[in-house]
Structure 1
Amino acid sequence: MTGRSTGVLAVGRAVPLLVRWGLSADADLVYRCLVSFGPRNAGAVATSLGLAVRRVRAALEELDDADLVGVTGSVSVYGAGAVRWRAVPVDAAVTGLRRRALRRAAAPVGVGPGAGSSGHPLPARHLPDRAATRRRIAELVAVERTEHLAMNPEEIFSTDTLAIAAPLDLALLRRRIRLRSLGRAPADGDRSSRHATEFARLGGEYREAGRLPHKLMIFDRRVALVAVDPHDLDQGTWEVVEPAAIDSFVSLFVRHWTDATDPRRNGVPEVVLTPREKAVVALLAEGHTDTSAAEQLGISTRSVTYTLRALMDRLGVENRFQLGLALGAMNAATPSRAAEPEPIEGDDR
């Protein structure tokens, strides 16, 4: 496909990847389409994306349930098929997704007075605040010998939290202790798998799950630290040593670990465009056809076509419209204002 109407699109506002918030890939594409082109009915969206109408309608229902789309106009005259859908603005959508994730968070694990089996209080020591918890973590990490399990339900980590966790993780990995960390997908839609790749390079294991019930650390399967309130760590932590309770926490971790995914294999890797891809995308985003883009770059039209086909294969999209949405989400399809394109290596004319 060539021409200005079917070229790669320039999307000005980056859209978080909805898949990382638990929505389907179809819902993600449909939402991006509505953000980019404004209100449309299901048939028009299906035509634009090259998807079956039934898939678009299912995606719209999913987006509607998540309060990410709304209906414009009345449906009484023309029927449901003529309903025009509009996307909720991106900033409002992100805020709504965060609230939705918090509402879906599971209730805290039963720890503390009265939480033990047979109605007896569970043997647990209360660490009263964040500072006490940090000191105890450091003490337990120092004597760990075999395995460290961590469950982190936060979608956003503060720089303070990362500054504390990173050195502890590194200390465990240097001592060849098996470290398994279970986290949530980033709330900002960051699709990079660099963290998981670097973590694995150091010897750790990291997976992500859509939902996690609580903030939990287990040391050598003999001590567990469980946050009193995972959304307010200043409330302190329960330190549990009762063997039956530890077994339950380990089972909880293993169950969620089994269902979780490795972002290096199941996520979307960071896409780095080659100089040729950057130049081709920039020209098509400005409205060039394949032929005029080829003339500008001094390569063949076939080279432009092959470059775009390879890029579509890398991003897992089916047509140029979907490619434009994917590149726009990464701010990679913004027209270049440079006077000269980057140097392009070799041509296959």
Structure 2
Amino acid sequence: MRATPTAVPSLGRWGLSAHADLVFRALTLDGPSTSGWLARHLDVAAARIDRALDELAACGAAAPGGTGPQRLWTAGPPAEVIDRLRRRREPILVAEQARRHLGTVTDLRLERLLPGAVRRLPSRSLVRDRIAELAGRERHEHLAINTEDVITADAKAVADPLDRALIARGVRMRSVGLPARDGSVAPAPPGAEFRIAQSLPIKLMIFDRRVALIPADPLELSAGAVEIADPEAVAQLVGLYDRVWSAAESYRREVPTIELNTRERAVVTMLAAGATEEAAAVRLGLSRRTVVTTLRVLMDRLGVENRFQLALILGAAHAIPLPPAGTPAANRTEEES
């Protein structure tokens, strides 16, 4: 049964996207819903609905119940959501991000660059493939500006193996980002350099100071990217990056010591290595229920909501080694918790 309509404040002035604001309104007015129902009801692509739900979850405006694609999403009380957003940051206009992006692109004067020095990558999948290709060729330096203040588990799973491969080859990695809304995701892998800025002009990657990638649309990353290989334009972007880097603050995270008992350490170490709950139970001489209960008690103690967050906080505290990205354990997220 759907909820009785009520006044719903706009979340746009607090930095949330138009789709996140739309989904929040639908959840508030219509009651708990699945992502599929929202996509059909709002006539919005499922991928955009999923990104909007990630955005709402990251700032505490909505929360999922249950697991899998049929889990119900529930909006938080509007007054509490606005109060939480007000405490976290001052109001901003989403349009400001587009304005900064446009200003930077205009300065590049792309229409005057060398023939073949600019090309469009029209989809997110093509952009990811091209990033992997360019990163695979890098030998000296990787520069990045990330304008998202929420890093999803999916995005991290894609980036981690590339980042680790670069660091293993001795490539210097420098990245500038915004303060994270949830604080739950490490900004960079060990060996990379990371700084924080309160505002950023453009999302950007520069590969060995020879090729640069910028979004085609700063407010819709699924629209793909623009690749720039013109030496003068890339040099201009490197200069911009150096100015942003110099003005940003060095990142420091205080990592608390986490003490695990013998059973907890054994269970999480096996799961981090890719073992299933059943395999861990057999190997340790425990029941599957005991393994699940051990994890649940540990998550409650550390104040995390899923195994992805648990792995991050234990790895950051060096309580267990982080598993290589792409292993079954690294890919398990809240849908299993």
Q: Which is higher, the Rg of structure 1 or of structure 2?
A: 1
Greater RCO, 1 or 2 (C-alpha within 8 Å, sep 6+): 1
